[in-house]
Amino acid sequence: MAETRTPRRKLVWRIGEVVETRPEAPHAKSIILEVPGWEGHKAGQHVDVRLTAEDGYQAQRSYSIASAPEDGRLALVVERLEDGEVSPYLTDELRVGDKLELRGPIGGWFTWEARDGGPLLLVAGGSGIAPLMAMIRHRAAARSEAPTRLLYSSRSREDTIYVEECDRLAAEDAALEVIHTLTRSQPPGWTGYSRRIDREMLDAVAPSPQERPLAFVCGPTPLVETVATVLVELGHDPARVKTERFGPTGG
C-alpha cells in the first residue's frame, strides 16, 4: 500500500458542559456548551444529544449547531415540545455546570463554508434558524461578502429566535438582508409580511435563478417541502436547494 489515509474519527459520544443558557423566545432556549476534545464543525452540521434515565432508558435527538465554527463553544437552540421526551428536560431542567452527552459534528451535505461563495438564500421556519444562524455567523466571522438573504418565518416578533442579532448583522452589512414574516401576530405598525411563506413571497425575495443562488431551507417538514417545491418551480436548480426537515412538530 503506497499511502494509507486515516478515516474520519469514529463518531464517539462525548460529554459537554453547559456554560450558559439563554431564553430566545417563549418556548426556545439557547444552550451553550464547552466540549473537551471537540475538533470543530462546519456551519450547518448537527449533533446528536442523548439522555439516559436512572433506569437506563435512553432517548436521542438531533440538534443543529447555531454557533459559528470560529466560536470555540457550541450553541444549540432547543424548542420546547409539550409532549417531548428530550426538549422539556433541556429547556426546563438543564443548568449551567450540568453535563450533556453528545456526538458530532454530523452531516456534510447541508453545510456552507465561506469559500463556497454565494449568492445565498436562507429560508428558516421557527427554530430552523439554528443551522442558518451558524452560516450567517460564519459568514460574518470570515468576512465573506457573499450576497445573502434570509427569509425567516416566525409566529410573532417574540417568537423570533435571534431577532436582535439577525437585524443587527443586517444593519451593519449591505450584502445581508433579513426579511421576516410573522404568521400569527404582528406588532403595531408592522409593514412586513404576515403570512406563511408562499410562491409569491419566494418569487419576490429569492435571487433570480440566473444568479444560481445556493439555497438552504430549514424548518418544519411542511414549510421545507413547500419552499423546496416552489423554488424548483421558479426555475432554481434542485441540486442547489438543500433542505433540513425537522419533522411534523418542529424540533
Site for another protein, rule CB under 8 A: 5-8, 10-11, 46, 48, 60, 62, 103-104, 106-110, 221-222, 225, 242-248
State the minimum distance, in angstroms, from the CB of residue 10 to another protein.
7
Select 148 or 243, whichever has its Cβ closest to another protein: 243
State the minimum distance, in angstroms, from the CB of residue 77 to another protein.
17
Select 192 or 222, whichever has its Cβ closest to another protein: 222
Select 177 or 225, whichever has its Cβ closest to another protein: 225
State the minimum distance, in angstroms, from the CB of residue 33 to another protein.
17
Select 56 or 97, whichever has its Cβ closest to another protein: 56
Report the 10 Å Cβ neighbour count for 8: 7
Rounded distance between C-alpha atoms, residue 120 and residue 136, angstroms: 10
Select 60 or 186, whichever has its Cβ closest to another protein: 60
State the minimum distance, in angstroms, from the CB of residue 95 to another protein.
26
What secondary structure does DSSP assign to 131-191, as a single string?
A: HHHHHHHHHHHTT----EEEEEEESSSTT-TTHHHHHHHHHH-TTEEEEEEESS---TT--
With CA atoms as reference, report the closest residue to 179 among 165, 164, 196, 167.
Answer: 167
List of long-range contacts for 2-11, beta carbons under 8 Å, 24+ apart: 9/39, 11/103, 11/104, 11/106
State the minimum distance, in angstroms, from the CB of residue 12 to another protein.
10
